[in-house]
Amino acid sequence: MYLGPEGVIAKKEEYFVPCINHFYQNPPEFVKGEMQYLYDSTGKKYLDFYAGVSVMNCGHSNPAIINPVMNQIQNLQHVCNIYLTENGVNLAEQLAAVTPGQLKRTFFVNSGTEANEGALLMAQLYTGAHEFIALDLGLHGRTQLTMSLTGIGMWRTTDTPNGGIHFAKNPYFYRDGRHEEHQSQEAFEDECIADVERVIRRRTSGKIAAMIVEPIQGNAGIVTPTPGYFKKLKALLEKHGILLIVDEVQTGFGRSGKMFAIENFGVVPDIMTVAKALGNGFPIGAYITTDEIAAAFTRPSASTLGGNPVSTAAGMAVLTYLQEAKLLENAQARGAQLQAGLKELQKRHALIGDVRGLGLMVGAELVTSREALTPAATEVDEILEKMKDRGILVGKNGENRNVLAMQPPLVITEEDVVFFLQNLDEVLSEVAN
């Protein structure tokens, strides 16, 4: 029986745990995807500028991804992971070739949350220490530990009992770096690093396993660090024997114009976590570390479905397609076009307070006052609704829900960006009146 959007909402309300929310007053029901486009149950076509939060980097139902996956499903879907199969080891080898520095050894799981849990455990095993540091406004998952390390209130469902967790100031220049005393990005950056040092010295026992960070904070509102932040952070952590875990769950696989976003900052983490875009819609996650760190984890352990033949077939197809379709280059070119266009709009639309990001991970923070930085959250909701009515899906995030999030599939064209900007221009005029 055809449910339609109302029917889906009614069943969600009856049968799901009621923590689900929607972006739209009238959410469409999607029934088909085709590269950068989605189609709803009425046949209406949408340009997708959110890609399921940076998942569908290679596009929806892309034959280059789904054909090898369908072949794999028909041949062999799953065996107990103590039996031998080839896809997982081949994907691990390919990941070692594209990750920076000495990152080489992979542990496969099924989601970003699990990847982070595993990375945190790995850091504890290697260092013998148990405390952690995370950044304000970061998001790392939904389990007790990863939620405890999430520094954004709206994603912390309960007061979390985990001890030994500390937060440091995140490098959010637009909101926190504009005061008299540190007008330059560099001075602000130094202040953020000094805060990490203060946390280490004053709040911890000194036995800290790792600091976990997103290279660009996604849910925080595409908060993009100042250029030198990560180099200074890595040096500080090394001085104190603390591992750096970089959470690339939302930023990995070409999103930022590099394979991994941390590469934009010239830093190699000790452990990297990945998920989302690695499977282009198939569930997969992983943490990747060095020979030396991995050597600390020898007791038997494996995820039942982590690294299964089907998800790893998707992962290999993603790595091949990113390269063959030159999607990193496209993310750089289209991202530059998008940011330049948004900065033009910023001159004419007072609502746009800040435009930031790297590659095709772009945020526009909307404010009703550029002096007071008053969050324009209701305006963001109106824009989302009006853009959706025009057949364009755009995301929102940020502590105050006032950041437009533009994270399209990396396959978008120059014309798509022009179309997006034209519509956003018109919608911003409508909303301002």
Task: Give the footprint of ligand PMP on this chain (CB under 6 A).
Answer: 53, 111-113, 116, 139-141, 214, 218-219, 247, 249-250, 275
- Min. distance of Cβ 391 from ligand PMP in angstroms? 25
- Min. distance of Cβ 221 from ligand PMP in angstroms? 12
Tokens of 183: 């007008």
Tokens of 121: 């455990």
Q: Which lies closer to ligand PMP via its Cβ, residue 91 or residue 139?
A: 139
Q: Which lies closer to ligand PMP via its Cβ, residue 36 or residue 111?
A: 111
User: Exposed, middle or buried by CB within 10 Å (0-12, 13-18, 19+), for 196?
Assistant: buried
Helix orientation angle between 327-348 and 414-432, rounded to the nearest 10 degrees: 30
- Min. distance of Cβ 140 from ligand PMP in angstroms? 5
- Min. distance of Cβ 424 from ligand PMP in angstroms? 24
Q: Please state, in angstroms and rounded to a whole number, the distance separating the CA atoms of residues 183 and 186.
A: 9
Residue recorded with tokens 């050597």 = 295
- Min. distance of Cβ 187 from ligand PMP in angstroms? 28
Tokens of 51: 């890609």
CB count within 10 Å of CB 352 equals: 22
What's phi and psi for 133, nearest 5 deg?
-120, 140
Residue recorded with tokens 């997708």 = 48
Residue closest to ligand PMP, measured at CB: 112
Distances (CA, A) of 193 to 55, 157, 190, 210: 31, 29, 5, 15
Q: Which lies closer to ligand PMP via its Cβ, residue 36 or residue 219?
A: 219
Q: Which lies closer to ligand PMP via its Cβ, residue 410 or residue 431?
A: 410
- Min. distance of Cβ 352 from ligand PMP in angstroms? 24
Write the single-letter amino acid at 433: N
Q: Which lies closer to ligand PMP via its Cβ, residue 332 or residue 407?
A: 407
Write the single-letter amino acid at 104: K
User: Do 344 and 334 contact (CB within 8 A), yes or no?
Assistant: no
Q: Which lies closer to ligand PMP via its Cβ, residue 360 or residue 376?
A: 360
Q: Which lies closer to ligand PMP via its Cβ, residue 280 or residue 367?
A: 280
Residue whose C-alpha is closest to residue 57's, from 315, 404, 352? 315
- Min. distance of Cβ 54 from ligand PMP in angstroms? 7
